Amino acid sequence: MDRRLEGKVTYVTGAASGIGLACAQRFAREGAVVVGLDVQESAEWKQVEESAPAAGFHLGDVRDEAAQQAAVDAILAEHGQIDVLVTAAGVTGGGPVHLVDLEDWQRVQDINLTGTFLSAKMVAPGMIERRSGSLITVASVEGLEGAEGGSTYNASKGGVVQLTRCMAMDYGRLGIRANCICPGFIDTPLFRSVIGNESFPAESRDRIRLQHKLGRFGLPEEIAGAAFFLASEDSSFVTGVALPVDGGFVAGHSVGVVEMMGLT
């Protein structure tokens, strides 16, 4: 491997599992210094520490401004800068709005949207000073379009998309790029706790799977590949993008014509 992120200091939230962990692992293999934040550590994170030239982990909640500030301050004290931010911390939730508890609504907004805001708020001053940086947020295809019962989650992820576009506009002339990855349905612990759960109707799960035009759910490593691109110099002229990495989920609606044409 070319180790094309050699020496780049990367702060990853939600780093202990799923997409955040996959991003940390990929960035470490590419030579980056990777520092993670999550509400709990995991055995898998140890693999990052073993493969990274330098790695660290902070226990903390993305909703906690003081915890995020402490993590960023520690990174700056040890490494002097943060080159890349990946905001992968997230939770799910939703339902028709008349059935959504305010507490649950607020929890999802606070983690998915406010947590992303706080992460960017903490790292932006250093990037502004150096006039360089890559802000990579993780939203969802459900931040690009509606979904049945998706009110809470979709609203939070739509907010992440718009926040990222605003950051691209605010910071572009300072050499800072801001881009948003919009994954389809990805096989992560969060996915398995909801869509992959035995209580979730198998027919509905298959219908969701088949809306991905590649006919399968995605893998965390495939999202990490997109994050690597957005962190690397290959994307030096890319900013303000909401990039679907979704197996064709948002390309259009499948209504059975493909089967009629024998293209299965």
| Residue type present at position 216 | R
> What is the distance, to the nearest Å, from the Cα of residue 19 to the centroid of all Cα atoms in its chain?
6
Note the pLDDT tens digit of each residue in 38-69: 999 888 887 777 766 668 999 999 999 999 99
Sheet holding 84-87, edge to edge: 55-59, 33-38, 9-13, 84-87, 133-138, 176-183, 242-245
Domain spans in the chain, listed from the N-terminal domain onward: 9-192+218-250
Numbers of helices and strands, H then E, in the chain: 10, 7
Strand partners, 33: 9
Q: Which of 43, 21, 18, 44 is nearest to 34 (CA)?
A: 21
232: exposed, middle or buried (Cβ count in 10 Å: 0-12, 13-18, 19+): middle
Catalytic residue among 11, 45, 153, 228: 153
Instruction: Give the position of tokens 């014509």.
Output: 257
> What is the distance, to the nearest Å, from the Cα of residue 180 to the centroid of all Cα atoms in its chain?
8
- Collapse the DSSP code of 58 into the 3-class scheme (helix H, G, I; strand E, B; otherwise coil) and give the result: strand
pLDDT tens-digit profile, the chain (264 residues): 578 999 999 999 999 999 999 999 999 999 999 999 999 988 888 777 776 666 899 999 999 999 999 999 999 999 999 999 999 999 999 999 999 999 999 999 999 999 999 999 999 999 999 999 999 999 999 999 999 999 999 999 999 999 999 999 999 999 999 999 999 999 998 888 888 788 889 999 999 999 999 999 999 999 999 999 999 999 999 999 999 999 999 998 877 777 777 777
CATH of domain 9-192+218-250: 3.40.50.720
Is residue 153 annotated as a catalytic residue, yes or no? yes
Q: Which of 61, 22, 33, 60 is nearest to 183 (CA)?
A: 22
Residues 6+ apart with CB under 8 A from 121: none
- Collapse the DSSP code of 105 into the 3-class scheme (helix H, G, I; strand E, B; otherwise coil) and give the result: helix
Contact 148, 99 (CB under 8 A): no
Query: How many other C-beta atoms lie within 10 A of the C-beta of residue 207?
Result: 11
pLDDT at residue number 52: 67
- Largest Cα span, the chain: 61
* CA-angle at 151, arms to 145 and 154, nearest 5°: 45
Which pTM value belongs to this model? 0.94
Helix boundaries (H) for the chain? 18-29, 43-51, 65-79, 102-108, 115-130, 151-171, 189-194, 202-211, 220-231, 257-260
